[in-house]
């Protein structure tokens, strides 16, 4: 009888019972996780709404359902809770501008990128590298190509694209057609950075297209709008990128263009790597960022694989194109809507540039005082990078005023909050280049593209 009672038929559990057991297990684990997050979690004592500390769905609501509004909700939270606030289960956000340098320190500090916030489904490029040591390894061979000296060496290529842009403007003027500055500046930036990264054969050559950079701009806009969703569902996004295009375009409109671009970039990367292997078809003065990375003696072999280098070029081209186009477009808008600033800039240019048909050198332009101030103010008020960039201090806690942020926790501060602080920038939404003239104290708040070892390479 005992043996019979132990037979499998006596252990039969209904499907409903199994489901209830699984649900109970899941519910219990979630309840314990929530309890941990608001009681003994290292960030439990920090101010902020309880729901933000409980779950990432709070951020999801504002960044996905409300389409990227979490930054403005964070600003509201700071107004309520003070200069430091818990914005998700493992992240603290600060708003005191004096802390920016502490968070994004440039020397002798080991900081990792926060894994949850990272958009690693976009590739394995420098910008999405988590660990401090690997980031340093990847950045070292890239940095020289964005130094002031390297940019000066790039001047003939820049001048060539500027000349093509001027011709397009003349065509628009002669025909009476309206020019979309965003599309034009996207073409300008991408034609320069893509040729610098991949060579003449890899240049996007958008300036010659009827609508210039429109297709790229629309693709980039679609990708950026999907980033918050991808942050919450990384695994799903990775799977979707391998789906057929006809399926992908129905699930996420606009993302099919991103996949096509990645395929094209992979082919261009393979072309350059083949040139490096054969040593044919590349003159010394035509070698590109990709050529040099592929031949770098400091990068280990795994860092020079086809896909890894493709991802790096995707980062270089994407970051160099979108942020530049946004900044130039918005700066032009502010110049047109601030006539006194535009008139003063024109006076400086006409006084200094004797030949209007000759494109001035970079050195000459950098010595123009008011133009430099206009550029600085354009960078400040254009906000090309709104996203926060959480850092994780791996080895030690971070002291911010009276607060101690535990090691291993994510801490961030949005550049937008610094750049619109009225105590630093009075009347912050006014386009006022004069604030940058004879004001050395303001320079430490030039945080448009971040600070420290993970700051933007192209901010030179």
Averaged pLDDT in 10-residue chunks for the chain of 460 residues: 48 71 86 91 95 95 92 97 96 95 78 86 86 91 88 88 94 93 95 88 86 89 84 82 73 72 88 76 68 89 92 89 93 97 96 86 91 96 89 91 93 95 96 94 89 77
In a domain, 92, yes or no: no
How buried is residue 389: exposed, middle or buried, by Cβ count under 10 Å (0-12/13-18/19+)?
buried
Is 1 inside a domain boundary? no
Say how far apart CA 389 and CA 91 lie, in whole Å. 11
Residue 154 φ/ψ, nearest 5 degrees: -85, -5
Residue 56 lies in a domain: no
Longest CA pairwise span in the chain (Å): 108
DSSP 3-state assignment of 400? strand
Write out the residue range of the structural domain in which residue 293 sits: 132-389+410-459
Flag whether 4 is in a domain.
no
Asked, for residue 52, whether it belongs to a domain, the answer is no
Strand order in the sheet with 111-113: 84-88, 91-94, 410-412, 391-393, 111-113
User: What is the 3-state secondary structure of 55-99?
Assistant: CCHHHHHHHHHCCCCHHHHHHHHHHHHCCEEEEECCEEEECCHHH
Tell whether 86 is covered by a domain: no
Residue 285 lies in a domain: yes
Cβ atoms of residues 121 and 109 within 8 Å = no
**Buried b or exposed e, range 291-310, using 16+ CB within 10 angstroms:** bebbeeeebeeebbeeebbb
Q: Provide the number of structural domains found in the chain.
A: 1
pLDDT at 280: 64
pLDDT value of position 279: 65
Residue 273's closest CA among 244, 247, 312? 312
Residue 68 lies in a domain: no
CATH number where 195 lies: 1.10.630.10
Q: Is 456 annotated as a binding residue?
A: yes
212 neighbors 186 (Cβ within 8 angstroms): yes
């Amino acid at each position: 009888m005992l043996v019979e009672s132990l037979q499998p038929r006596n252990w039969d559990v209904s499907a409903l019972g199994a489901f209830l057991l699984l649900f109970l297990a899941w519910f219990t684990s979630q309840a314990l996780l929530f309890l941990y997050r608001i009681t003994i979690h290292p960030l439990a004592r920090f101010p902020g709404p309880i729901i933000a500390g409980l779950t990432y769905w709070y951020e999801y609501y504002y960044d996905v359902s409300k389409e990227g509004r979490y930054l403005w909700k964070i600003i509201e939270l700071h107004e309520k809770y003070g200069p430091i606030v818990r914005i998700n289960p493992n992240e603290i956000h600060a708003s005191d501008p004096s802390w920016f340098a502490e968070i994004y320190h440039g020397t002798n500090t080991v900081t990792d990128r926060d894994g949850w916030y990272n958009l690693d489904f976009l590739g394995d490029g420098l910008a999405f590298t988590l660990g401090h040591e690997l980031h340093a390894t990847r950045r070292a061979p890239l940095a020289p190509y964005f130094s002031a000296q390297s940019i000066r060496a790039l001047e003939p290529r820049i001048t060539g694209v500027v000349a093509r842009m001027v011709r397009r403007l003349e065509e628009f003027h002669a025909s009476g057609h309206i020019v979309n500055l965003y599309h034009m500046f996207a073409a300008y930036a991408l034609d320069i950075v893509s040729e610098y990264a991949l060579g003449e054969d890899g240049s996007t050559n958008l300036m010659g297209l009827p609508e210039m950079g429109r297709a790229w701009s629309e693709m980039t806009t679609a990708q950026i709008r999907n980033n918050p969703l991808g942050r919450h569902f990384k695994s799903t996004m990775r799977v979707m990128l391998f789906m057929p295009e006809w399926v992908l375009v129905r699930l996420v409109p606009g993302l099919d263009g991103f996949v096509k671009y990645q395929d094209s970039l992979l082919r261009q990367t393979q072309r350059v790597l083949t040139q490096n292997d054969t040593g044919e078809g590349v003159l010394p003065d035509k070698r590109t960022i990709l050529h040099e990375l592929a031949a770098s003696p400091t990068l280990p072999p795994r860092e020079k694989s086809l896909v890894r280098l493709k991802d790096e070029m995707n980062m270089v081209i994407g970051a160099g194109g979108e942020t530049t186009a946004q900044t130039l477009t918005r700066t032009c808008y502010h110049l047109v809507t601030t006539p006194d600033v535009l008139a003063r800039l024109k006076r400086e240019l006409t006084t200094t540039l004797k030949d209007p048909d000759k494109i001035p050198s970079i050195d000459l332009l950098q010595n123009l005082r008011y133009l430099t101030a206009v550029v600085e103010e354009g960078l400040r008020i254009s906000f090309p990078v709104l996203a926060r960039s959480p850092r994780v201090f791996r080895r030690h806690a971070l002291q911010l005023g009276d607060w101690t942020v535990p090691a291993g926790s994510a801490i961030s501060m949005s550049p937008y909050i610094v750049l619109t602080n009225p105590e630093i920038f009075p009347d912050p939404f006014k386009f006022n280049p004069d604030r940058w003239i004879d004001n050395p104290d303001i320079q430490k708040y030039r945080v448009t593209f971040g600070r420290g070892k993970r700051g933007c390479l192209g901010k030179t």
